[in-house]
Amino acid sequence: MSDAQNILETTSVPCDNVAEFLAALEAACGYRGDVTLHLKDGSCIEGYVFDLKRADPAHCAVRILPKDGRSRMTLAQSTIASISFTGKDAAAGKTWENWMRRYAEKKLKGEAAGIESEPLD
């Protein structure tokens, strides 16, 4: 797992510093875990951020798929007080190369699911 992923998994960024806040919203789009958006009205929405819409550099909107099963929501940046990276990044430390290496090792041992070793001609 990279240091950046370790840092994100426990980070909370308030909206006070616009540049940092926008960077956190952008990072949330690439984060493969849940985040919690703390809204200025006092409510919170936890879920998966899948899109960031930028009308201009100072204003944007976040699209989130709430964890509680509600339908997708679009929230204006101006309604968000802070963002917290609360869920574990499901793909942290997982790369295609590592997956292929582990798969090949299992196949050589005959452990790969649904794969039977066939003799080479």
pTM for the full predicted model: 0.67
**CATH number of the domain to which 49 belongs:** 2.30.30.100
The first and second tokens of residue 53, run together, are 């819409």
Has residue 121 been placed in a domain?
Answer: no
Nearest to 12 by CA among 1, 93, 28, 3: 28
Could you tell me the residue range of the domain that residue 26 belongs to? 3-109
Q: Is residue 72, in this structure, part of any structural domain at all?
A: yes
The amino acid present at 104, given as its one-letter code, is A
Domain membership of residue 67 (yes or no) is yes
What is the tens place of the pLDDT at every residue in 62-82?
999 999 989 999 999 999 999
Measure the CA–CA gap between 83 and 40, rounded to whole angstroms. 11
Q: Classify residue 118: in a domain, yes or no.
A: no
51 within some domain:
yes
Q: Is residue 119 part of a domain?
A: no
Closest CA to 35 of 94, 89, 92, 91: 89
pLDDT for 86-103, tens place per residue? 877 766 666 777 778 888
Total count of domains within the chain: 1
Domain membership flag for residue 117: no
Residue 56 within any structural domain of the chain: yes
